[in-house]
Amino acid sequence: MPQTISKGYKALLAEANAVVDTVPAADAIGLLGRDDTVLVDLRDPRELEREGRVPGAVHCPRGMLEFWIDPESPYHKPVFAEDKRFVFMCAGGWRSALAARTAREMGLKPVAHVGGGFKAWKEAGGPVEPVQPKPKG
């Protein structure tokens, strides 16, 4: 018997977007390099290798976000303890909305996400640099 889901991804996204600021990609480009803002790229390494990355963005695979934010975690990253605005980005704006909401619930403030994600970033003319695949072995 299939499991019944009480709340689908669309409801979760709507809830996240109701409480998290969405930054249009064209505006997000202007945040690049600012001392008061950290751009966080949530895409996985394969996506970065395939599409490129935002120069200067912090790469945090979505599956590690909660562990990197929490100072009690053995995986904590000091960048998430800085008193800055955190703007999350994924490929299309879904993972970043959910991640920004989670980060906010964990106490990270202020947070936002890039509407339309990396796809919108590229379409708005945002800078992209190539990522070399890691050697296998």
How open is the CA angle 8-14-18, to the nearest 5 degrees? Answer: 150
Task: Tell me which residues of the chain have a pLDDT lower than 50.
Answer: none
Q: If one looks up domain 19-123 in CATH, what number appears?
A: 3.40.250.10
pLDDT at 106: 97
Q: Is 134 exposed, middle or buried (0-12, 13-18, 19+ CB in 10 A)?
A: exposed
Cis previous bond, 110, omega within 30? yes
The ranges assigned to domains in the chain are 19-123
pLDDT at 90: 98
pLDDT at 85: 98
pLDDT at 55: 96
pLDDT at 3: 79
